[in-house]
Structure 1
């Protein structure tokens, strides 16, 4: 068991804390925040409660997302390297003193610190040419591999240097809701789903670069 009792998370979301592995600094441990899972569950309608808590457990959903057909197919075909072009390597579940954690590659900058997010880059430098090219490569990768994601959000993408150029890696938001995963067996549906995610991604970048006077929920509907 990995002891995290003396560790401080380097990042936290509403549902998970992210820790640097104490014995392997190039790995990340994502630990569920059970109090928030319970709070989310209690807000569900009675019908949705019948579906259980695993559907709102981000670690369980992330594990399922790595089992999606596009990823499994690429690995079976000996093309595993294509999977990790824009995803951190995933090592599965491991036990920690804070409960079960999802263990994955921790993307680092040149100083050994967690790599910056696309969100922070946009705030500091705008949508500059190197990052525009990185976004284009990410989108082409999605189209080529057919890997399904949820909405692509800048705070869920980090920037790491690969072959002397910045590349985007999706550290959260892999996969799609259950019904979409089943429909993904239809090639035309899969292509259109990915195209919608890409269009919404560019729209989100435009919103991030604006004054944000309008809520994202309203902006995305324009």
Structure 2
């Protein structure tokens, strides 16, 4: 069965994909990688993209691989990344079904940037953010894009959840082969995130 999404307005548009509410389950979202992203990557890293077996789906595959890697690591903890439910065929291409992160009233969870902009960021969030950083160090997760817009606040569980930017860049990634290198890369991303937070809060 192929779901028709082309006549539906996405609830979010990112640099890589559109996000739709699943037509059969409002607690699920469907992420579909859009054509602009594929063309941009072909221009940015043409040699790398040329030799990929599945050119259109490297980002989807890397996110799925990272999700499975966290499941299999010494300290499996999926609480801080968006839960993957499965894959689905759509008229816009293959989509990834994920569990929506929501607020108590059923609305989608706010991003960290939303919390700051709306003056809702509190000491509770600050403590939870430090816990997220600890989790990020413990699990050796590979994150290629870590910013205030892809980290959302799970109001029900009182924790931060990463919903985007998971997995390595296309092609060969040293971070996949060296835990030490990946730890350093994650440390740098955490420091940059803290700098952005400090600037946003000032």
After TM superposition, the score normalised by the length of structure 2 is: 0.83
Determine helix, strand or coil for the equivalent of 1:25: strand
Which residue does the alignment assign to 2:26? 25
Which residue does the alignment assign to 2:161? 169
Which residue does the alignment assign to 1:137? 131
Which residue does the alignment assign to 1:108? 102
Which residue does the alignment assign to 1:60? 58
Native 8 Å contact 2:112 2:152 kept in 1: yes
Decide whether aligned partners of structure 1 residues 34 and 185 sit closer, same or farther in structure 2, where only a CA change above 3 A counts.
closer
Which residue does the alignment assign to 2:71? 75
Gaps of 5+ in 1: 211-222
Determine helix, strand or coil for the equivalent of 1:67: helix
CA positional deviation for 1:42: 5.7
Bigger mean CA deviation after superposition, 154-163 or 112-121: 154-163
For 2:113 and 2:97, how far apart are their aligned partners in 1?
A: 23
Q: Please identify runs of 4+ aligned residues in structure 1 that moved more than 6 A.
A: none
CA positional deviation for 1:5: 4.4
Gaps of 5+ in 2: none
Determine helix, strand or coil for the equivalent of 2:65: coil
CA positional deviation for 1:36: 4.5
For 2:53 and 2:196, how far apart are their aligned partners in 1?
A: 29
Determine helix, strand or coil for the equivalent of 1:100: strand
Native 8 Å contact 1:92 1:104 kept in 2: yes
Decide whether aligned partners of structure 1 residues 136 and 21 sit closer, same or farther in structure 2, where only a CA change above 3 A counts.
same
Aligned length, in residue pairs: 201
For 1:129 and 1:91, how far apart are their aligned partners in 2?
A: 32
Native 8 Å contact 1:126 1:209 kept in 2: no
Determine helix, strand or coil for the equivalent of 2:130: helix
Deviations 1:21-75 (A, max 9, x none): 010111110112214532x1463365455345956x5x5313223314xx54553
Which residue does the alignment assign to 2:3? 2
2:113 is equivalent to residue 119 of structure 1: yes
For 2:139 and 2:45, how far apart are their aligned partners in 1?
A: 36
Larger radius of gyration: 1
Query: RMSD of the TM alignment (CA)?
Result: 2.8
Which residue does the alignment assign to 1:191? 183
For 2:171 and 2:41, how far apart are their aligned partners in 1?
A: 20
After TM superposition, the score normalised by the length of structure 1 is: 0.77
Deviations 1:110-129 (A, max 9, x none): 22121111111111116421
